[in-house]
Amino acid sequence: MGSNDKDVTLSGESMAFTAGKAAMSINGPDRAEINDFVGQSKSRRLPSGELEFTTGEPPLQGRANEPHVLKVLVETMTAETNQKHLFRKSHKADDGKGIDGYVAFPDGSMVPVQVVKTPTDSQWGAAVAKGNAKIVALVDEAASWIKAAIYHKVSEASPRIAPKDRPSLFLALDARHAGMLGADDVIEAFHQQMPELAQLGFRAVWLVGNTPFNSKKLA
Q: What is the pLDDT of residue 59?
A: 67
Q: Are 77 and 85 in contact (CB under 8 A)?
A: yes
State the number of CA atoms in the 13 A half-sphere of 55 facing the CB. Answer: 23
Find the mean pLDDT for residues 6-32. 64
- 169-212 pLDDT tens trace: 999 999 988 999 999 999 999 999 999 999 999 999 999 998 99
17 — pLDDT class (breaks 50, 70, 90): low
User: Mean pLDDT throughout 80-106?
Assistant: 86
User: Is the Cβ–Cβ distance between 207 and 174 less than 8 Å?
Assistant: no
Is the pLDDT score of 16 beyond 70?
no
Q: How many CB atoms lie within 10 A of CB 113?
A: 26
Specify the pTM: 0.87
The domain ranges of the chain are 5-217
Alpha carbon distance 158, 154 (integer Å): 7
CA–CA gap between residue 69 and residue 50 (Å, rounded): 26
Cα 24 versus chain centre, distance: 16
> Which has the closest alpha carbon to 52: 139, 112, 166?
139
Percent of the chain past pLDDT 70, that is, above it, reads: 86
Distances from the Cα of 88 to the Cα of 39, 64, 104, angstroms:
25, 15, 7
Q: Which residue has the higher pLDDT, 42 or 90?
A: 42
Residue 96 is predicted with a pLDDT of: 67
Q: What average pLDDT score do residues 102-114 get? A: 95
In this model, does residue 9 exceed pLDDT 50?
Answer: no
Q: What pLDDT, on the 0 to 100 scale, is given for residue 208?
A: 96
CA distance 22 to 58: 15
DSSP 118-182: SS--HHHHHHHHHS--EEEE-HHHHHHHHHHHHHHHHSTTSS---GGGGGG-EEEEE-TT-GGGG
